[in-house]
Amino acid sequence: MTIIDRAATQVSRLVRAAPRGELPAGRMVELPGRGETFVTDSGDRDAPVIVLLHAVVTTGLLSWYPVIPRLAEEFRVITMDQRWHGRGIVSEEFRLDDCADDVAALADVLGIDRFAVAGFSMGGGTAQLTWRRHHDRVSALVLASTGSYFGRAGSGRAVVDQMAGSLLRLVRTPLRTISAEALDDTDISDGAWALRQVRSTRLSRVGEIGDELGRFRSGEWLAEIDVPTAVCVTTRDRVVPPSRQQLLVDGIPGARRFDVAAGHACCVLQADVFGPVFVQACTWAVDSAGAV
């Protein structure tokens, strides 16, 4: 364990995250013509598929590990590292459109035709774009702690600073690149494991990530979304205000609101509050899609 790992262990004693438990096994998957990304695939292969998209400066596992076991009881649950995050695709530019296309490309590789998409924060933007760009593939949406925009265009790192909050402050100083072996190592504290996941993001280019998040706007086409959509509104959120999250409920026809009495990082820091509501939202959205 490194000095940084030990420091993260001390921090985790003050900021309590959900216990890791047994993490799902993952593997690198080649998306033809696009690159490689890290994927986990849990649950019954014949169950309805739900693809989980993570928040900024996190990974598929870090955002979703607390809720995967419960979701896998009902669904085939897939996580993937988005571009410039974790072991996601390393491209010259970071574009949410490309992240959305990666979702469809992964489904092609896995032999999946239709699937639900759930996204937290930044992942919610990618989820919306996945529907817009691959309308015939997406059966339902679950949007959590997210909105129809993230900030103003050109605001750069400020957008990521606001969205990532304390996670990014832990790694202000440039650090060594994290190896795949270090990311797979579970014989360390929960805090050390989580910080390694954060450090695997391309932190030297968070300004470019922020610029792209600032360009995201879905307000003009929300009314076109025609699949069952659940919106998990984090009512104590200071990053994406509940009023901004409500724009999704108001703008998407038939969207159903699910309130989560928690703040923005609740997928990990308040998983006991977020998890049950999120599972309920996923069940409603997927069941509603099946009833259409």
pLDDT, tens digit, 9 for 90 and up, residues 192-228: 777 777 777 767 778 889 899 999 999 999 999 999 9
The pLDDT tens digits for 231-247 are 999 999 999 999 999 99
* Structure confidence at residue 10 (pLDDT): 42
* Structure confidence at residue 159 (pLDDT): 59
* Structure confidence at residue 12 (pLDDT): 44
Q: What is the dihedral of CA 273, 151, 11, 23, to 10 degrees?
A: 60
- Residue 142 burial class via C-beta count within 10 angstroms: exposed 0-12, middle 13-18, buried 19 and up: buried
Instruction: Please give the Cα distance from 228 to 281 (Å, whole number).
Output: 10
* Structure confidence at residue 126 (pLDDT): 99
* Structure confidence at residue 233 (pLDDT): 99
Output the pTM of the full model. Answer: 0.87
Q: Which residues of the chain have pLDDT under 50?
A: 3-15, 165-168, 170-175
Q: Show the domains of the chain with their CATH numbers.
A: 3-291 (3.40.50.1820)
